[in-house]
Amino acid sequence: MRNRISALLGALAALSMLAVSACGATAAKQTGAGASAAGEPVSGLRIMVPNAPGGGYDTTARTAAKVMEDTKIASGVQVFNLPGAGGTVGLQRTINEKGNGKLAMLMGLGVVGASYASKSTATLTQTTPIAKLIEEAGAIVVSKDSQPFDLVLLLVLGLLGFGMRRFGLPVLPLIVGVILGPRAELQGRRSLQLSGGDLSGLLGGPVSYTVYAVILILLAWPLIRRFVRKSA
């Protein structure tokens, strides 16, 4: 089984090397293209990993480099890391290296999601895919002892985040609310314990009314501003 996987990975790596050599024929005729035409190992290939060392992308890239060297497809393959912004920093570097047939980037769906979520100017439409090394299923997991409410809450938050993206509302406040929510709940319980369960301390009085009014204005301000701009 291991030999079959190595052979498959070697074949895919060979395909990627052919594609890289073809892309770099005009940029480096005396190195990559000449070696490929003579049947010799291609030299000078660099594989960029847009994430920190030790992760899945990094392991896959270094495994592919080893297979290419063991099968004499390439020699001296350099794997380096360029993390940042979920992988979009590396994606931008790849786009900036247009015409460099000696540079390839190994990526996965994480970079796709980061590029979409951050609305990055660097997109995959500006690159050329050359090979698919692995395929894995994505899954969202929760704790083993999670209650059905946790799954429903996860679904609701996901739909809320999608809706906020759809209408151009910032998602960061929602994330901050999810993080600070448990602390706010804890303080609310303490307040109720001190007041003996009386809600008047939380719902009544000029201070409470002022705080709630400010919160409502802050929440509604993006919609109000958009409505005013359309009306103008």
Q: Which residue has the tokens 């050359």?
A: 130
The pLDDT value recorded for residue 6 is 47
Q: Which of 28-42, 82-96, 180-194 has the lowest mean pLDDT?
A: 28-42
Q: What is the mean pLDDT of residues 40-63?
A: 90
Give the β-pairing of 42-43 and 74-75: parallel
The pLDDT value recorded for residue 50 is 92
- Angle between the 172-194 and 148-166 helix axes, to the nearest 10 degrees? 130
Is residue 159 helix, strand or coil? helix
pLDDT digits (tens, 9 = 90+) for 88-127: 999 999 999 988 889 999 988 888 888 888 888 888 889 9
Phi, psi of 128 (to 5 degrees): -125, 110
Enter the DSSP assignment of 64.
H
Nearest residue to 32 (alpha-carbon basis) of 90, 103, 123: 103
Nearest residue to 105 (alpha-carbon basis) of 83, 90, 118, 86: 90
Bridge partners of residue 103, in order along the sequence: 46
- For the chain, the average pLDDT equals 77
| CA–CA dist 228, 216 (Å, integer) | 17
Q: Which residue has the tokens 């540079």?
A: 103
Burial class (CB in 10 A: 0-12, 13-18, 19+), 68: buried
Q: How confident is the model at residue 65 (pLDDT cuts 50, 70, 90)?
A: very high
DSSP for 84-96, written as a single string = -GGGHHHHHHHHH
